Structure 1
C-alpha cells in the first residue's frame, strides 16, 4: 500500500507542450528560444538564469522574478488565493506553462494524492508534477483560460474587464433562452468529471462555478479543479464522518448554539466537516451522504449556467437560510426548459437517497443534441406502429393522456398554413393526438431532403433548425413522450440506448 502511494506521488512525464490560453494577469508570454540573462533564485540561492534554468523559464514574462525548484519555475505573479494558506502562481514546469499551486505541507499530501488518482480524465484538471522545499509543496497544474464563473458572468462585465481575464466571447444562450450547444457541452463536461470522481469512490465536496475551469482546446472544455478537500469513500460507504454512521462530534459549548440555531447548525457543520462552500452545499442530513451532496451542488451549478448566474435558493443573503430550512426550490426561471425542470427537480430532492447518480444525469435529455432529440422521436414513432394493431394499447392510452401537457389543445394551431397544407397532402392527421404529432416529426425527418425548398426554409437549416421548429412550438413534447416510453419501453432493444442510466 505504501509503495502504491509513493508511485502515485511521483511526477508525470509531460508528453509534448501544452498550448492553452491562460489568464492575462499571468503576464505576456515570451517567444520560444528567446533568452535573457537575469538573476533568479534557485532553492533560495541565486541562479544566473542561463543553461538548464533558461529552458524552465520559457513562457514566463522575463520581467517577472521568481525561483526555480527542481523542474519547476515559480514566478512571483499571483493568479489566485485559496484557503489554508494556498496560493496559485504563474510558472513553468519542464518548459510547459502551468499554474503553480503552493500548499503548506500539512495538507499537501492528500491533495496531491487526490489529483494523482483522479486526473487521468479530460474533465479533471491535469497535474503535471510536483516539487517541494522546506515549507511547501508545489503542484504544477495545467493552465486555464478562465473559470466557469468568469464565462457566465461575461455579459455582465465591461469589455475591458472581460479582456483582462481573457474570457472567450461565445454564445451561451439562444435567442429563445435555451442554453446553446456550447453551454450544454460545458455543463455535460462538469457532469462527466463528477462521474469520473464518483467512479473512483471520490466526491468533490466543493463543486461551484469558481472551481470549474474553462480550457480552450479547440472547442471550449470544462474541467473540475480544486480537489483539495475531496474525500475518498472506503468500501463504498455512502457517508463520511468520525463514525461509520457519518455523524460528527461538536464541542459541548457549540452544541447549545447548534441545537437552537439552524443557521449556526449549517455553517458550523461546514467548518466541522471541512467541506463545501457556503451557498453551494446541500443541507446536512442525519447521515452525511456525500454523493448526494455533490448532486445537490451540481444542480446549483447547472441552474447557474442556464440562468446566467442565478442561484435556485435566492441571493447570497437568503441562500444559506433557505438551504438550512430545506426550502422548496422554485424553478419558474427555467420552466421554459422542461428538461431542466425535470432534472433539477431530481437533483434538489430533499430526500438525499432519491437524488440521481452522476452517471444517470449524464444521459438525461437535457444534454441531448438536436440529432438525438429528433431520432428519439423518430424511433418512438416507429415503435408506436406496433401498438396501432392492438385494440387497447396501454402505451397509446398513456401517451394520449399527456396531450394537454405536451402541446395544450390542438397542435395544428401552432403551425403555419403552408406547413399544414404540406403535411396534409400525404395523410390525414388527428390534431388532438400526441402519436400523430410525433408521426409528423418522423415523416418530415425521413424525407427532409425531398421537401420543397419553401418547407425546408420553414423548418430551418439542418437538424438543429428542424429541432428548433418543433421545440419552440411544443417545448414539453420531448419530455412527456420520454416519460411515457421510459415507463413502458426502457428495456426494449430499439429504445434502451435512450434510457441507459436514466434519471426518470
Structure 2
C-alpha cells in the first residue's frame, strides 16, 4: 500500500493493519514497513511465506530532514472515546489539528469515488469494527493471504461469518471474486457469499464461516476424528466440477483453500472450495485462458503447463485437476506431497519427477488411489481426466458398488467367446492379477464348495469373477463355514477377494473401458460424449 502527501512524505507498507497512530517529523522520508516474520522469516515446511502485521517504522540513515516541533499525524484520527485517549495525552502541546482527514479523498477518476459508495467506519468501545452490515474484531484473525488480505471472525445479519478484508489496490480483483462467488455459491461444496461492504480504506467480503482448513485437518485430525477422507475429497471434487461447469477455473487449489464447515444439526461436515481471488471465468466457446497477467497459483501446487514458457501456451481447467491430484495425495498420505519437499517441488513438477511411495502394490485401496492420482498429476494436460471423469473413478466406490460392478461384468461376458475383444482384454496380463492361480489363494472351505458344482480355471480372470458372482447370488445357501470365511455382504465379501487380489478391480475396470457406451456400464464410466 502507498500513500503520498503534499509535503513530499511517502508511506509504503505491505501490512498496514495497526490499530493506533504514528507521529513522525514532517519532512522525514519513511522506510518501507514490512511486517516482521517469526525467526526473521516465516517459511514453514510448506515453503509458503507468511507476512504478519507490524507498525515498526525504521528510518534510513541520512533521511531525516525535519523541523523542530513540526509533526504529521498518520493514521485514523477521528476523536476517540474517553477510554481510548491514553495515547493522545502525550502529544506535543503545539500540535495543530486541522480537522482535515489525513488520507486525502480519491480523485473523481476513481471508480470508487462516489461518496454514497462508502460506509462510515465505526469503532465500538469493545474494539469491534462496524462497516455497513458487517462487524468484526481486528484482533480475531482467522488467516491471511497474499497482497495484504486478512480474514477476521465477524457477524452479518445475526450470524457468525468470516470477513475477508482486501486492500484498495486489489478492488478490481475483489469485484471479480465477488462476481464469481455470486455465480457459484449455490453449490454445497463452494463457500457461501453473503455481502460486500466498503469504507475508504478497504473492501470487506462476508463469507461462510468454517471450522478449519483441509491443511489444518490433515496436520491434526483430532478436531474431526470421525471424518472419512474419501468423502471429503469427493465433496471437494464435486465443488470443483461445479466451478468447471460454469467455465470457472480456480487456479489456486491447495489444502489451505479448501475449508471444512462446522458440523450441522445432523453432525455433518462439508468440504468447501474457497478463495476465488485468482479464479478465471473462461468465455463461452473457449476452453483456455492466457497468462498475460502472470503465473497464477501457489508454488508447489501449480501445473507444469502454467510454468512452461512455450509459444501459444494456453492452459485449461486441467490445471485444477493437477492441483487436486496433489491435494488427494496430501490427504491420503497424511501430509506428503507427490513432488517432494517444498524447496524442490516446482522443479520436480516441471521435470515430471514424482513419488507415490506411500502406496503399496499389494493393498487394494492403494492400487486404486495410485491409479487415479497418477492420471490427475500427469505432465500432459490433455491426458488428465475431467472432474466429471474423476468422480466416476473406483476410488469413490463403496463396497456395494464394487460388488455390483464385478457382478455386472461377469453377467456381461458370461456368453462371450474366448476370442472376443472383451475377454481378450480381460485375460491379457491376467496371470499377475490372479497371482498365477487364484484357486490356490482362497480358503479351503471355499475351494471345497466351488468343486461341488462346476470346474473353474485357476488362471482365468473371467472364472474368478464368475465364482464371485455365483457365491454372491447363492450366499444364503452356502454352508455356515463358507459364509464365515467370506464375511458379510457386501463389505466382508468384497474385502475377502480384493485383499487377496488387489489389482482385480482396476484391471477389470480398465478392460471394460470398451463398453462405456453400453447402458449397463453408465453407473461406472463417464459416457464417451460427456468426456
Unaligned stretches of 5+ residues in structure 2: 1-82, 85-118
Give 2:197's match in structure 1, choosing from 114, 128, 131. Answer: 131
Per-residue deviation at 1:452? 3.9
Match of 1:151 in 2: 217
Match of 1:66 in 2: 128
Provide the C-alpha distance between the structure 2 equivalents of 1:386 and 1:117, rounded to a whole number of angstroms.
51
Match of 2:255 in 1: 209
Q: Secondary structure at the match of 1:117?
A: helix
Higher Rg of the two aligned structures: 2
* Structure 1 moving runs of 4+ over 6 Å: none
- Say whether residues 1:231 and 2:280 are aligned partners: yes
Match of 1:120 in 2: 186
What's the TM-score, normalizing by structure 1?
0.74
Match of 1:441 in 2: 468
Match of 1:95 in 2: 158
Match of 2:490 in 1: 463
Match of 1:85 in 2: 148
- Say whether residues 1:289 and 2:315 are aligned partners: yes
Match of 1:44 in 2: 121
Q: Secondary structure at the match of 2:506?
A: helix
Query: What is the CA RMSD across the aligned residues, in angstroms?
Result: 2.4
Match of 1:328 in 2: 353
Per-residue deviation at 1:501? 4.8
Unaligned stretches of 5+ residues in structure 1: 1-38, 49-63, 156-161, 172-181, 249-271
Provide the C-alpha distance between the structure 1 equivalents of 2:129 and 2:193, rounded to a whole number of angstroms.
20
Provide the C-alpha distance between the structure 2 equivalents of 1:45 and 1:194, rounded to a whole number of angstroms.
38
Deviations 1:122-142 (A, max 9, x none): 110111222222222222211
Question: Do the aligned partners of residues 219 and 426 (structure 1) sit closer, same or farther apart at CA in structure 2, a change above 3 Å counting?
Answer: farther
- Say whether residues 1:396 and 2:423 are aligned partners: yes
Deviations 1:251-285 (A, max 9, x none): xxxxxxxxxxxxxxxxxxxxx62511010011134
Provide the C-alpha distance between the structure 2 equivalents of 1:348 and 1:428, rounded to a whole number of angstroms.
44
Provide the C-alpha distance between the structure 2 equivalents of 1:444 and 1:65, rounded to a whole number of angstroms.
69
Q: How many residues align?
A: 398
- Say whether residues 1:373 and 2:402 are aligned partners: yes
Match of 1:343 in 2: 372
Q: Which structure has greater helix proportion?
A: 1
Q: Secondary structure at the match of 1:289?
A: coil
Match of 1:159 in 2: none
Match of 1:191 in 2: 237
Give 2:224's match in structure 1, choosing from 162, 165, 168. Answer: 168
Q: Secondary structure at the match of 1:333?
A: coil
Provide the C-alpha distance between the structure 2 equivalents of 1:213 and 1:448, rounded to a whole number of angstroms.
43
Provide the C-alpha distance between the structure 2 equivalents of 1:331 and 1:45, rounded to a whole number of angstroms.
53
Provide the C-alpha distance between the structure 2 equivalents of 1:280 and 1:89, rounded to a whole number of angstroms.
26
Provide the C-alpha distance between the structure 1 equivalents of 2:325 and 2:136, rounded to a whole number of angstroms.
37
Provide the C-alpha distance between the structure 1 equivalents of 2:445 and 2:268, rounded to a whole number of angstroms.
38
What's the TM-score, normalizing by structure 2?
0.70
Provide the C-alpha distance between the structure 1 equivalents of 2:418 and 2:496, rounded to a whole number of angstroms.
33
Match of 1:482 in 2: 509
**Cα contact 1:99–1:140 (8 A) shared by 2:** yes
Per-residue deviation at 1:444? 2.3
**Cα contact 1:144–1:214 (8 A) shared by 2:** yes
Q: 230-239 vs 372-381, which deviates more?
A: 230-239
Question: Do the aligned partners of residues 385 and 304 (structure 1) sit closer, same or farther apart at CA in structure 2, a change above 3 Å counting?
Answer: same
Provide the C-alpha distance between the structure 2 equivalents of 1:114 and 1:392, rounded to a whole number of angstroms.
53
**Cα contact 1:213–1:224 (8 A) shared by 2:** yes
Per-residue deviation at 1:493? 2.1
Match of 1:307 in 2: 333
Per-residue deviation at 1:343? 1.9
Deviations 1:484-503 (A, max 9, x none): 1112x221222233112579
Per-residue deviation at 1:319? 1.1
Per-residue deviation at 1:345? 2.4
Question: Do the aligned partners of residues 464 and 45 (structure 1) sit closer, same or farther apart at CA in structure 2, a change above 3 Å counting?
Answer: same
Provide the C-alpha distance between the structure 1 equivalents of 2:239 and 2:442, rounded to a whole number of angstroms.
41
Q: Secondary structure at the match of 2:155?
A: strand
Provide the C-alpha distance between the structure 2 equivalents of 1:231 and 1:391, rounded to a whole number of angstroms.
51
Per-residue deviation at 1:483? 1.1
Higher relative contact order (CA 8 A, sep 6+): 1
Per-residue deviation at 1:204? 0.9
**Cα contact 2:122–2:131 (8 A) shared by 1:** no
Provide the C-alpha distance between the structure 2 equivalents of 1:462 and 1:144, rounded to a whole number of angstroms.
37
**Cα contact 1:188–1:367 (8 A) shared by 2:** yes
Per-residue deviation at 1:458? 2.5
Q: Secondary structure at the match of 2:243?
A: helix
**Cα contact 1:360–1:501 (8 A) shared by 2:** no
